Amino acid sequence: MKVTEIMKQKLCFSFEVFPPKSENPIEPLLNTLDHLYKFDPDFISCTYGAGGTNAGRNVEICKAIQDSGKSTAVTHFTCIGNSKEKIAQELQAYLDRGIDHILALRGDFPKGWKETRGDFNYANELTEFIKENFPKFCIAVAGNPEKHFQADSFDTDTTHLRIKQDSGADFIMTQLCHDVNQYQWWVEKIRKAGVSIPIDVGVMPVLVKDPTIRMAVSNGSAIPRDLAEIIGRYGDNPEDFKKAGMEYTIKQIHKFINAGIDGLHIYSLNKWKDISDIVNEIGIRKIQE
Ligand code: FAD
Best probe residue, ligand 1, of 12, 59, 106, 215 (max atoms within 8 Å of C-beta): 106
Q: How many CB atoms lie within 10 A of CB 115?
A: 9
Q: What is the torsion angle, in degrees rounded to the nearest 10, for the CA atoms of residue 142, residue 148, residue 149 and residue 154?
A: -170
Amino acid occupying residue 8:
K
For the Cβ of 157 lying below 6 angstroms from any atom of ligand 1, the answer is yes
Ligand 1 pocket, residue 266 CB under 6 Å: no
Q: Is the CB–ligand 1 distance for residue 202 below 6 Å?
A: yes
Task: Please list the helix, strand and coil fractions of the chain in percent, rounded to the nearest 5, in that order.
Answer: 45, 15, 40
Q: Please, are residues 287 and 278 in contact by the beta-carbon 8 Å criterion? A: no
Q: What angle do CA 278, 43, 205 make, to 5 degrees?
A: 30
ipTM of this complex? 0.99
Q: Which residue's CA lies nearest to atom 11 of ligand 1?
A: 157
Which numbered atom of ligand 1 lies nearest the CA of 123? 3
Would you state the pLDDT for residue 289?
Answer: 63
The CA–CA distances, whole Å, from 31 to 25, 97, 126, 155, 272 equal 11, 21, 33, 43, 9
Q: Could you state, in order of their start, the residue ranges of all structural domains in the chain? A: 3-282
Residue nearest atom 14 in ligand 1 by C-alpha distance = 160
What local confidence, expressed as pLDDT, does residue 288 receive?
A: 67
Task: State the Cα–Cα distance between residues 287 and 45, nearest whole angstrom.
Answer: 20
**Which ligand 1 atom is the nearest neighbour of the CA of 80?**
25
Q: Whose CA is nearest to atom 40 of ligand 1?
A: 107
Distance CA 79, CA 81 (A): 6
- Write out the DSSP string of 21-34: PTTS-SHHHHHHHH
Q: 3-282 in CATH: which number?
A: 3.20.20.220
Please give the chain's pLDDT, 289 residues, in tens. Answer: 999 999 999 999 999 999 999 889 999 999 999 999 999 999 999 999 877 777 879 999 999 999 999 999 999 999 999 999 999 999 999 999 999 999 999 999 888 999 999 999 999 999 999 999 999 999 999 999 999 999 999 999 999 999 999 999 999 999 999 999 999 999 999 999 999 999 999 999 999 999 999 999 999 999 999 999 999 999 999 999 999 999 999 999 999 999 999 999 999 999 999 999 999 999 888 776 6
Cα(76)–Cα(141) distance, integer angstroms: 9
Give me the active site residues, please. 16
Ligand 1 binding pocket includes 48 (Cβ within 6 Å) = yes
Ligand 1 atom nearest to 47, measured from its CA: 28
- Whether 106 lines ligand 1, by a CB cut-off of 6 Å, is yes
Answer yes or no: is the C-beta of 122 below 6 A from any ligand 1 atom: yes
Predicted structure pTM score: 0.97
**Which sign does the torsion angle of CA 91, 94, 100, 102 carry?**
negative
